[in-house]
């Protein structure tokens, strides 16, 4: 008998099959993912989990029969005698017996997606927005890469091993006498007789002369490590969350904003290796706070949007060099702003913020009972709309209900290439 321990074998033998299945069911699964994420708590969006898809298209049909007269033998008779008639539905007659196996196997098929599969499918048709600032959109900076060897360079970059190797090759090729050979001859010289001595001396002299002619290391041997500058994508992003926390913002509105921020965060983490979040809340003055305070800390006062933009601008200047960081900003507000602040806000936005950010989204949140269509254009909305009309790259949407967050988010980041690619 053999005992084989297979536990250490590479697992996931079925992974390939599973991927084939997902590929085949992609459209269906994607739909299911969207649907299931709608009624999911935002925190769990990342968690993957169970989805169910309709079996149609994924079915494996076989010939099978249904209906007709059926005979069956069952165990556990308690009171029946031959010739009894059992009513078809209810009672002990087992309702099952009466319906002739209807249903075409169209019921849902449930299975579990891993976190990565889930998020991938969820964000699959989204991409970073088409940016006005192409230069930054490419999100590149210069970096140094090793690129072979050069014959010139700074002494600090001498590659010793390469240089010595080349020198040795040259010495071998030109047959530079080895010091050991000379030492051997000299030892022989000490004990040799007269005739042999002259011969040896001449030979040693010749060898020594040759050794002097062929240097141990020649300038042509020297190699330097070469570096090339290559464009390197900026793999980090910072996300600014700006929110109005004045008294007019209700819990519901904050919740909407939070959902949007979370989605943005998930999305950015898929695209960038490192994502930082900065929370700025403002009333009539702005401050940078931690997440807990941001969403739950009490605050009151008037509303000055410009203060938040000013704060963001200062933080960008001090901590996030636009060359190194991709900057994303999302602002949530109920749209109130003091009238005197409008001009300042507009100027700050167009001159300071928009030029350095990749993307700026404004989300106007409303009360849950209202609908987006009924919301009157607020002062901030009107202002931003005007800026947009002037060509500022702003994205703005109105949201009143939890269920609208996903569509709005999708809408903002929808892949637009398809439209372009279409003839």
Partner 1 sequence: MTATAEYLFEGADWDFPKLQRIHDACEEIARTELGLDVYPNQIEIITAEQMLDAYSSSGMPLFYKHWSFGKHFAHHEAFYRKGLRGLAYEIVINSSPCISYLMEENTATMQTLVIAHAAFGHNHFFKNNYLFRQWTDAEGILDYLDFAKSYVAQCEERHGRLAVEQTLDAAHALMSHGIDRYPGKKNLDLRAEEKRAGERRAHEESAFNDLWRTVPTGPIKTAELLNSERRRKLLGLPQENILYFLEKTAPRLQSWQRELLRIVRHIAQYFYPQSQTKVMNEGTATYVHYRIMTRLHEQGRLSDGNFLEFLQSHTNVVFQPEFDDQRFSGFNPYALGFAMMQDIERIVSNPDDEDREWFPDIAGKGDVMGVLRDIWANYRDESFISQFLSPRLMRSLRMFHLHDDPQQTEGILVDAIHDARGYRRIRRELARQYDVGYIDPNIEVVDVDLAGDRRLMLRHVVVKGAQLNETDTRRVLQHLADLWTYDVSLVEVDAKNTVLKEYVLTPRGLAVAA
Q: Which residues bind partner 1 (CB under 8 A)?
A: 1-7, 9, 11-14, 16-25, 50, 58-78, 80-88, 92-94, 97-98, 100-101, 104-105, 109-112
Per the CB < 8 A criterion, the answer to whether 286 and 278 are in contact is no
Q: How far is CA 213 from its chain centroid?
A: 62
Minimum distance of partner 1 from residue 387's CB (angstroms): 49
C-beta closer to partner 1: residue 48 or 335: 48
C-beta closer to partner 1: residue 11 or 423: 11
C-beta closer to partner 1: residue 82 or 419: 82
C-beta closer to partner 1: residue 16 or 292: 16
Report phi then psi at 274, rounded to 5. Answer: -135, 125
Sign of the alpha-carbon torsion through 204, 210, 213, 216: negative
C-beta closer to partner 1: residue 55 or 396: 55
Minimum distance of partner 1 from residue 283's CB (angstroms): 47
C-beta closer to partner 1: residue 68 or 155: 68
Residue 267, both tokens = 């999305």
Minimum distance of partner 1 from residue 92's CB (angstroms): 6
Distances in whole angstroms, Cα of residue 395 to Cα of each of 15, 332, 364, 392: 40, 12, 11, 9
Minimum distance of partner 1 from residue 339's CB (angstroms): 57
Per the CB < 8 A criterion, the answer to whether 53 and 32 are in contact is yes
Instruction: Outline where DSSP puts E strands in 152-223.
Output: none
C-beta closer to partner 1: residue 21 or 265: 21
Minimum distance of partner 1 from residue 91's CB (angstroms): 9
Question: Per-residue DSSP letters for 163-176?
Answer: HHHHHHHHHHHTTP
C-beta closer to partner 1: residue 87 or 143: 87
Residue of 398, 360, 403, 358 whose CA lies nearest to 378: 398
Minimum distance of partner 1 from residue 64's CB (angstroms): 5
Minimum distance of partner 1 from residue 89's CB (angstroms): 9
CA 338/CA 333 separation, integer angstroms? 13
Q: Tokens 């240089």 map to which residue?
A: 163
Minimum distance of partner 1 from residue 33's CB (angstroms): 14
CA 1/CA 285 separation, integer angstroms? 80
Residue 109, helix vs strand vs coil: strand
Residue of 97, 92, 95 whose CA lies nearest to 69: 97
C-beta closer to partner 1: residue 86 or 150: 86
The strand pair at 108-113 and 326-333 is best described as unpaired
CA 374/CA 371 separation, integer angstroms? 5
Minimum distance of partner 1 from residue 11's CB (angstroms): 5
């Amino acid at each position: 008998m053999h005992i084989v321990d297979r536990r250490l074998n590479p697992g996931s033998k079925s992974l390939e099959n599973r991927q084939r299945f997902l590929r085949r069911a992609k459209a269906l699964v994607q739909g299911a993912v969207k649907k299931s994420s709608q009624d999911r708590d935002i925190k769990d969006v990342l968690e993957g989990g169970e989805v169910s898809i309709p079996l149609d298209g994924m079915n494996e049909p076989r010939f099978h029969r249904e209906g007709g007269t059926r005979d069956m033998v069952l165990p556990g008779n308690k009171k029946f005698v031959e010739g009894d008639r059992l009513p078809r539905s209810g009672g002990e007659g087992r309702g099952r017996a009466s319906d002739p196996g209807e249903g075409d196997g169209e019921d849902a098929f449930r299975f579990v997606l891993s976190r990565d599969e889930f998020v991938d499918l969820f964000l699959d048709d989204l991409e970073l927005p088409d940016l006005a600032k192409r230069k930054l959109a490419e999100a590149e900076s210069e970096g140094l890469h090793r690129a072979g060897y050069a014959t010139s360079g700074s002494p600090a970059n001498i590659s010793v091993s390469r240089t010595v190797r080349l020198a040795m090759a040259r010495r071998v090729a030109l047959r530079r006498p080895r010091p050991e050979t000379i030492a051997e001859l000299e030892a022989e010289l000490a004990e040799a007789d007269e005739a042999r001595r002259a011969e040896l001396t001449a030979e040693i002299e010749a060898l020594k002369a040759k050794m002097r002619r062929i240097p141990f290391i020649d300038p042509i041997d020297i190699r330097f490590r070469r570096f090339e500058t290559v464009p390197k994508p900026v793999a980090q992003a910072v996300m600014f969350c700006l929110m109005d926390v004045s008294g007019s913002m209700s819990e519901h509105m904050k919740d909407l904003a939070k959902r949007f921020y979370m989605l943005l965060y998930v999305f950015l983490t898929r695209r960038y290796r490192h994502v930082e979040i900065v929370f700025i809340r403002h009333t009539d003055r702005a401050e940078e706070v931690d997440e807990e305070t941001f969403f739950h800390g009490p605050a009151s006062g008037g509303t000055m949007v410009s203060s938040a933009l000013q704060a963001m601008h200062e933080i960008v200047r001090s901590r996030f060099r636009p060359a190194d960081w991709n900057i994303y900003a999302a602002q949530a507000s109920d749209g109130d702003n003091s009238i005197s602040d409008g001009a300042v806000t507009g100027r700050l936005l167009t001159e300071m913020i928009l030029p350095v950010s990749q993307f700026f989204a404004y989300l106007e949140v409303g009360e849950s009972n209202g609908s987006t269509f009924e919301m009157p254009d607020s002062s901030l909305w009107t202002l931003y709309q005007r800026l947009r009309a002037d060509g500022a790259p702003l994205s703005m949407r109105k949201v009143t209900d939890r269920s609208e967050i996903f569509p709005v988010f999708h809408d903002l980041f929808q892949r637009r290439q398809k439209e372009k690619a279409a003839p």
